[in-house]
Amino acid sequence: MQGATPLANADSVDGMASLTPEAFEPALLNLISDWLGPEPTAVIACGMVGAKQGWVEAPYVAVPTMPLAPPVLVKTKSSVISVHIIPGLQQPNPADVMRGEETQIAGFLALNPGWDGVICMPGTHSKWVLVSAGEVVNFQTFMTGELFATLSQHTVLRHSIAAVGWDETAFFEAVEDAISKPERIAARLFSLRAEDLLNSQPKSTARSRLSGLLIGAELAASRPYWLGQNIAIIGADKTADIYASALARQGAPATITDPTRMTLAGLTAAYRLTKENT
């Protein structure tokens, strides 16, 4: 079995932003105590829990490398858990980092052995990742999701952009415009405000245009990644669909895969790695 079927799940808002290093173990035990027995239960963690400000730092491994480096053992006070954290990846030049995505990439490769191509991981910080012969060759991060949130909430555009609603035509126009005339991107933003003031442009149209402009800017810059490549998108629902449709219009078809499934498969692969290394 390459995939993994969860028996139970639990969520918490606690994380790097709110916990001191000492507070991670009690927070985890509090969350999963019902699942634990007398013998040590293996806990495999990935993401910001391994950052410098996290529980225990799991230092970045430099690309090119396999997505999964040996997970770092965490010393715990409790003996009913045995915790490992998966290291993130770094790229010296151009400087870039990831934490968490390497686990999804490992999951994708566990489920698709021998796959070569480019993995697109849209989100707050989108990643484009070139994968070959089971290794992450290089990657590039874009702040697209964070830019969208920040521009639509913290700038003058907030008065003209809806929180929901979608205008597909406006989205595709803006993507196409950003890709074909990237030198004009900076000229497009204030228009979203002015079109509202002068022409009462619907705020859902402005939302779609901003999304198209930012995704178009990402696609213009990531073209060396996706042009003529085998593309897989690891992304949830609407966001993955939007990226796939924008890429399809550029003649670049992509397969969409589920991020939770990839994470679980990646954690499973990392768990096996800890067993091999024992």
Q: Applying CB under 8 A, which residues contact a second copy?
A: 60, 90-92, 94-97, 125, 140-144, 146-147, 150-151, 154-157, 182-187, 189-191, 193-195, 197-199, 201, 214, 217-218, 220-223
Q: How far apart are CA 142 and CA 78, in angstroms?
A: 39
Pick the closer one to a second copy by CB: 18 or 33: 18
Q: Long-range contacts for 238-245 (Cβ within 8 Å, ≥24 apart)? A: 239/122, 239/123, 239/145, 240/122, 242/122, 242/171, 242/211, 242/215, 243/120, 243/122, 243/215, 245/172
Pick the closer one to a second copy by CB: 176 or 195: 195
Distance of closest approach, residue 191 Cβ to a second copy, in angstroms: 5
> Do residues 97 and 143 touch, judged by C-beta distance below 8 A?
no
Pick the closer one to a second copy by CB: 151 or 264: 151
> Do residues 147 and 128 touch, judged by C-beta distance below 8 A?
no
Pick the closer one to a second copy by CB: 96 or 258: 96
Distance of closest approach, residue 228 Cβ to a second copy, in angstroms: 17
By DSSP bridging, strand 135-142 and strand 126-132 are antiparallel
Distance of closest approach, residue 114 Cβ to a second copy, in angstroms: 29
Pick the closer one to a second copy by CB: 150 or 255: 150
Pick the closer one to a second copy by CB: 160 or 257: 160
The token duo for 141 is 């991060």
Distance of closest approach, residue 45 Cβ to a second copy, in angstroms: 20
Distance of closest approach, residue 200 Cβ to a second copy, in angstroms: 11
Distance of closest approach, residue 210 Cβ to a second copy, in angstroms: 12
